[in-house]
Structure 1
Amino acid sequence: MNSIFQRVSVRKFQDKPVTDAQVEQLLRAAMAAPSATNQQPWEFYVVRDRGLLEQLSQCHAYSMCAKNAPMAVVPCYRKDAAHPEYAQIDLSAATENILLEAVELGLGAVWLGIAPVPERMDKMREILNLPDHLEAFAIVPVGYPEREKAQQDRYDPARVHCL
């Protein structure tokens, strides 16, 4: 699975739309993620509206790249999930699947953390008018990368402990 070794955080995008079929494939990948007791606590907001992308870009100091992305996915989790204590872990797996599928589709993406920071989560609730039962987990701007970038080799044998 080469996408694992090709995935990089992409923060600059070409002015080229992401198709509905590509968005569906990203969300299919997200929903294929494992979850605690198969609770699937996720819901996803697909944001293409320029005004909303601008607002998302102001959620925190590192979210500015959302402004110029053709679209963003906002993974959210249901607070009423069977095991809410695992919901953020479940959403981590779903978000990683979005990032990996983006590579497979020739797209780029970046994971912008929202949860567990209350101020960021509140801001997202306001921007997206989220219902009370949902919490925003992340912002994932997606698009065609402005330039190619090689992934760093992060393997560190000193962090491997064989017993």
Structure 2
Amino acid sequence: METMDAIFTRRSIRKYLPDPVSRDMIENILKAGMSAPSAGNEQPWHFIIIDRRDLLEKISEMHPYAKMLKGAPAALMICADQNVPKFKDFWVQDCSAASENMLLAAHDLGLGAVWIGVYPAEKLVTGIRELLKIPEHVTPFSAIAIGHPAEEKPGQPRYEASRIHDNSW
């Protein structure tokens, strides 16, 4: 799939077939996440592969916008190490870039995926940190549900010329 095609056709997919996602596919998605740009090349991210049904269901119960995890064969939790020394104020941007790379990689592999925000909702950060035994200096940022899609959504044009400003507002 060409890059622009992947960007223009990627959609949030929330319904999945029960088929497992192969470890090779998961590793390719993780490689895409780790290829994202980061401030000062600090790469503050850590990733948790979640494919245990009990954990996916618990997260779907604690997170009001993660109900799709009940039917997802896997999810990837993107976390940020707060002990990164120099550019620690940019971890949100870094983990956002990694998350988007992972969404595009999943789409390129023919998988469905959806971004599930965790940070900055403190109750979710605390609950997920406890459930997944994440150390205190690591912040769960987002999760990406992944699976073989059980729904198909066409790309939607989102370009809006009225939001473009030349040289000043």
TM-score computed with the length of structure 2 as normaliser: 0.94
Query: Quick check: 116-125 or 42-51, which moved more?
Result: 116-125
- 2:143 is paired with a residue whose SS is strand
What is the CA–CA distance in structure 2 between the aligned matches of 1:59 and 1:101, rounded to whole Å? 27
2:84 is aligned with 1:81:
yes
Between the aligned partners of 1:138 and 1:67, the Cα distance in structure 2 is 17
| SS of alignment partner, residue 44 of structure 1 | strand
Give the partner amino acid of 1:29: A
Q: Is 1:121 matched with 2:125? A: yes
Decide whether the 8 Å contact of 2:118 with 2:141 is kept in 1.
Answer: yes
- Alignment deviations for residues 52-101 of structure 1 (CA, whole Å, 9 cap, x no partner): 00011123211111111010000000011122210111000000000000
* 1:14-163 equivalence runs, <5 A: 14-82=17-85, 83-163=87-167
CA offsets 1:20-74 (integer angstroms, 9 cap, x no match) = 0000000000000000000000000000000000011123211111111010000
Structure 1 stretches of 4+ with a deviation exceeding 2 A read none
Structure 1 residues not aligned, in runs of 5+: none
Distance of 1:151 and 1:74 partners within structure 2: 25
* Aligned mates of 1:48, 1:35 — CA distance in 2: 27
* Deviation digits for residues 4-23 of structure 1 (CA, Å, limit 9, x no counterpart): 01110111101111000000
Aligned equivalents of 2:58, 2:113: Cα separation in 1: 18
Q: Among the aligned pairs, what percent are the same residue? A: 40
Q: Tell me, in whole angstroms, the C-alpha distance in 1 between the residues paired with 2:88 and 2:95.
A: 11
What amino acid is the match of 2:131? I
Partner residue, 2:14: 11
State the superposition RMSD in angstroms.
Answer: 0.8
Question: Structure 2, unaligned stretches of length 5 or more?
Answer: none
